[in-house]
Amino acid sequence: CKLIDVLKCLKQRQIYANSTSYRSLSQRLGEINGKQNSATFHDVIANRKLEAKRSILVQVQSAQSCKELYTYCNAITPVKQMFHYSTGVEPLHFIIVEFSKEADVSNVLSQSTYAESLQIVPVQSLFLWFKAPVKKNKQKVLKAAKLQIENGTFILNEDDVRHSLKEEKSVSNQMLSLYNSIKLNDISTRLRFIVARQIETALSGLFPHVVVYPFGSSVNGFGRMGCDLDLVLRLNENQSTSADSRLVFHSKAITASERSTSQRHMEVIGDLLQLFLPGCSHVRRILQARVPIIKFYQQLADVECDLSMSNMSGVHMSNLLHLMGEFDSRVRPLVFTVRKWAAEVGLTNSHPGRWITNFSLGLMVLAFLQKPGYAPPVLPGLNLLIKSAGPEDTFITEEGINCTFLRNPERMLDFRRLNTDSLQSLLEQFFVHYSNFDFSMKAVCLNEGSPVTKPDHSPLYIVNPLEQGLNVSKNVSMEELERLKMEMRNATWILESQEVKGMNWGVLSLFDGRRKFGMSPAPRQAKLLEVSTLFETESDGERIEFKSGQVEREI
Ligand code: GTP
Ligand code: MG
């Protein structure tokens, strides 16, 4: 009761949105009630963006430099917390320094300098390095008593993960443990928002209304360590026009067609990233795509990025997936286990091609959890979420895509927790469900919450929940669908015939299924060779383009 009072008090004073104490208290309350604490996508993103606005990223000599950096920054403006991480085999060390306010970052940046060299072009950036002191620093190094330093490393040790899975007591625990070991951690998430913020900061002089939104698995709650960072860059966001103002900025009008203008803009942005932005390397422009994208590697954050300037439907899709994950605490561990299984048996591949993607697989899991056949379902159908939407949930993109659906899972509490199946049981039912699914006649559909008749002859049809005329798995070939069905049947069989716990039991036996039954390991290499020819397919507005040796997907 006391916790509820404190939460109410924080809420009344409007200080909850950014307050970690509010978050941890309400989390605690959720735990006491045995409930998952739900956060709306909007709040999560807003908090992460604020964190990024209050942060800088500093390269240091080693983890030991933390205290010295803390002392140095703290002398300029109070440091709130610091996070250490390292990348690479010969590790480079970095520290995210978070201050209390956005203005503190400006303060620190105004007291920072550029390297003395004619070879460099000074640019606005949040990425710095901490050089050795010119004179021996007499300043007493502060004790890092109040300092929160978290170690983050992005290198996952597969053996450690497997070992911890072996030690678990049940398959359900294994699934939870897997999820907790490989999901994107706090530092990696912070870093992704700082990468987005770096682009915003760099472009803001020329484009005062620029916003860069991270979307996809970095923000939808289904991201694993090392996943790519999808970004959408908008030059004209949050523009507040004042009708009273008589002074109006002169601006250039867009003369060419929207598409060619967008391509030209992307070309220029690609050049800026490549030539001026610290850490941005391997910039590749894929501008002929229906949705042009720029791919680049941010080496200071060790993350592959895909930047587009298209519509916001990808962000709304991320919101939808996030919402589904918030509905029930079993959703994410189940999706992670299925994706891990698919990667292990070679159904998915980090290169796009004629096989199923993680995104499509995730939608298959969500659709299964809505299944009305066995009562009660874990997740509601999207149509129910649309019906329950309020005015604050109404979003229609510039292109007319209706992205209206209920955004706050707390408003559907009645629906939640009616199904009490264990994770293990859900995993088994998932494989049985799709082993018996009529892929020749039926399409997977999250809108209805049950399969619908397939509108065309694509081998696998998964209705795009936000643009229902599109099939998100249009790329999947008949051969790949057959492999998917076969692996689903194998998985059903492996889970059903679990012997006494051996070396690799539970989900580990699923991952090792091929080896266990004397089958050769998944043909990943063969898959890569398969796409080394040049061809292109186009349908329903979703186009896949394969270039020799390198594969790019267009949405
Ligand atoms: P990983 O990057 O594999 O971890 O997952 P992801 O969900 O980020 O997938 P990806 O990077 O391939 O795509 C980013 C986002 O674009 C997804 O989350 C979707 O919102 C959207 N998206 C991905 N694939 C498709 C597709 O085939 N069709 C449509 N309409 N949207 C897609
Ligand atoms: Mg992604």
pLDDT tens digit sequence for 184-212: 999 999 999 999 999 999 999 999 999 99
Pocket probe for ligand 1: among 230, 354, 357, 359, the residue whose CB has the most ligand atoms within 8 Å is: 359
The answer to whether the beta carbons of residues 448 and 331 sit under 8 Å apart is: no
Top-confidence residue, 525 or 372? 372
The residue-averaged pLDDT of 338-352 equals: 92
Query: Which residues lie with the beta carbon below 6 Å from any ligand 1 atom?
Result: 216-217, 220, 223, 227-228, 230, 314, 317-318, 357-359, 464, 470, 472, 542, 555
Angle between helices 423-435 and 331-344 (to 10 degrees): 50
Q: How far is the CA of 74 from the centre of ligand 2 (A)?
A: 36
* CA atoms in the 13 A half-sphere facing the CB of 320: 30
Nearest CA to ligand 1 atom 17: 216
User: Nearest ligand to the C-alpha of residue 352?
Assistant: 1
CA distances from 38 to 121, 346, 408, 465 (A): 45, 34, 8, 22
Task: Tell me what pLDDT residue 32 has.
Answer: 40
The answer to whether the beta carbons of residues 104 and 124 sit under 8 Å apart is: no
Nearest atom (ligand 1) to Cα of 470: 30
Nearest atom (ligand 1) to Cα of 474: 27
For the CA atoms of 516, 519, 520, 524, what is the dihedral angle to 10 degrees?
Answer: -90
Pocket probe for ligand 1: among 189, 215, 230, 540, the residue whose CB has the most ligand atoms within 8 Å is: 230
Q: In angstroms, rounded to a whole number, what is the distance separating the alpha carbons of residues 65 and 86?
A: 13
Name, of 248-257, 410-419, 494-503, the range with top average pLDDT.
248-257
Point out the least confidently predicted range of 71-80, 372-381, 397-406, 411-420. 411-420
Q: In angstroms, rounded to a whole number, what is the distance separating the alpha carbons of residues 18 and 39?
A: 12
Point out the least confidently predicted range of 294-298, 327-331, 500-504, 531-535. 531-535
Q: In angstroms, rounded to a whole number, what is the distance separating the alpha carbons of residues 341 and 347?
A: 8
Top-confidence residue, 360 or 511? 360
pLDDT band at 158 (very low <50, low <70, confident <90, very high): confident
The answer to whether the beta carbons of residues 57 and 301 sit under 8 Å apart is: yes
Task: Tell me what pLDDT residue 201 has.
Answer: 95
| pLDDT above 80: residue 318 | yes
- The single-letter code of the amino acid at 213 is Y
The residue-averaged pLDDT of 261-268 equals: 90
Q: How far is the CA of 446 from the centre of ligand 1 (A)?
A: 16
The residue-averaged pLDDT of 290-308 equals: 93
Q: How far is the CA of 34 from the centre of ligand 2 (A)?
A: 32
**b (16+ CB within 10 A) / e for 488-524:** bebbbebbeeeeeeeebbbbbbbbbbbeeeeeeebee
Q: How far is the CA of 66 from the centre of ligand 1 (A)?
A: 37
| Main-chain dihedrals φ then ψ at residue 446, nearest 5 degrees | -80, -15
CA distances from 9 to 4, 5, 38, 100, 411 (A): 9, 6, 19, 22, 21
pTM summary value: 0.85
User: Nearest ligand to the C-alpha of residue 543?
Assistant: 1
CA distances from 449 to 20, 143, 386, 511 (A): 36, 56, 12, 29
Top-confidence residue, 478 or 118? 478
The residue-averaged pLDDT of 464-475 equals: 95
The residue-averaged pLDDT of 236-257 equals: 79
| pLDDT above 50: residue 367 | yes
pLDDT band at 31 (very low <50, low <70, confident <90, very high): very low
Q: How far is the CA of 138 from the centre of ligand 2 (A)?
A: 47
Q: In angstroms, rounded to a whole number, what is the distance separating the alpha carbons of residues 397 and 400?
A: 5
Q: What percent of the chain has pLDDT over 90?
A: 56
Task: Tell me what pLDDT residue 34 has.
Answer: 39
Q: In angstroms, rounded to a whole number, what is the distance separating the alpha carbons of residues 505 and 162?
A: 11
Nearest CA to ligand 1 atom 12: 359
Task: Tell me what pLDDT residue 524 has.
Answer: 40
Task: Tell me what pLDDT residue 174 has.
Answer: 96
| pLDDT above 60: residue 25 | no
The encoded tokens of residue 10 equal 């924080």
Task: Tell me what pLDDT residue 376 has.
Answer: 86
Nearest CA to ligand 1 atom 24: 359
Q: How far is the CA of 359 from the centre of ligand 1 (A)?
A: 5
For the chain, first and last CA: distance in Å?
Answer: 49
| Main-chain dihedrals φ then ψ at residue 285, nearest 5 degrees | -105, 125
pLDDT tens for 383-439 read 999 999 989 999 998 888 999 999 987 877 666 667 889 999 999 999 999 999 999
Q: Are strands 92-99 and 55-60 parallel, antiparallel or unpaired?
A: antiparallel
The answer to whether the beta carbons of residues 426 and 175 sit under 8 Å apart is: no
* Mean pLDDT value across the chain: 82
Q: How far is the CA of 227 from the centre of ligand 2 (A)?
A: 6
The residue-averaged pLDDT of 118-147 equals: 73
Whether residue 523 is preceded by a cis peptide bond, meaning omega within 30 degrees of 0, is no
Task: Tell me what pLDDT residue 88 has.
Answer: 76
| pLDDT above 90: residue 147 | no
